[in-house]
Structure 1
Amino acid sequence: DGEAELVRLGRRPRVTSGLGSAGSGQQSVTGVEGSEDANSYWRIRGGADGECPRGVPVRCGQAVRLTHVNTGKNLHTHHFPSPLSNNQEVSAFGDGGEGDQLDVWLVQCSGTYWHREEAVRFQHAGTHVYLSVTGEQYGHPIRGQREVHGMPSPNQHNSWKAMEGVFIKPSPTEPSRHDEL
């Protein structure tokens, strides 16, 4: 299916079970600190063109989809206000890794490839916002979880790192560094 990796991003965006988002009614994506639960893992897949072969490093500027491992829903954004900050809502959308064109994100990093534990940004291909998390926290029933949303410009709230996961060794024709995503 074009799967490249299984990663958990710093600040740990996770899908919240059974809670619809304000505005769209799609499944919420929240941020948690230091969580060890399985709801924080995302599979990196190719963008709309499907290109993201296993073992080939993800290039800076490449279009990807981030698919939640437990639900099969894609990280998604659209023109709905987020419930706490009034930024752009980010949700989990689709079934079995198939959603729509609003599931595609561009990897922004320095250099040629996205390297493990180096800062990266995800800019939405359709609406151009950046995947972000700030200090807004939900109350009951998901107390302490932070709102994940889209912001219009790059800043300290939208820098992410791949903290842990399954990192596929690049094929022999790729660069010799072995920590690419």
Structure 2
Amino acid sequence: MLTERELTHFKNKLLRMKQEMTKVIESNRPLTFEDYGELTSMDNHFADTASQLEDREVQFSIKESAQHILTEVNEALDRIQNGTYGKCVDTGEEIPVVRLEVLPYAKRTIEAQKMFDETADAINQTELSFSTPKDDERGDQRLQTVDELQYEHGNSSFRIK
């Protein structure tokens, strides 16, 4: 169980993180052509346009990460308010202080987080296939499915051994 002093320490740490993430989000306004000294995208060299696109993607990624962390921080602050901070949301076990020092918005023990991640990966890895069912009677044997083509020729994720 965390002491009152430790709770205050983590609350202050979380409030600083919240402030930092809010600044990142607010300072990450969308880039425009004017930011690059251009009035329009017309007559731009494709490399310039690609660089601008990359800048926007990096900016979007930074903002998205900051928003995710801000959500996690707000949830941790709610857990402090509710008296459940420092306890694993899945198992109810105490989260080690060392873990909270590194990741103050942690809501699971390391073991529970590994289990959660494995479950999430398993859900995301459901077998999506465009293969034709064996009992399909289309009549045209020249049609090949994506799976058959991958098996026959391979691709970047499926190599013939």
- TM-score using structure 1 length: 0.18
Could you say which structure has the higher helix fraction?
Answer: 2
* Structure index of larger Rg: 2
- TM-score using structure 2 length: 0.20
Could you say which structure has the higher strand fraction?
Answer: 1
**Structure of greater relative contact order (alpha carbons < 8 Å, 6+ residues apart):** 1
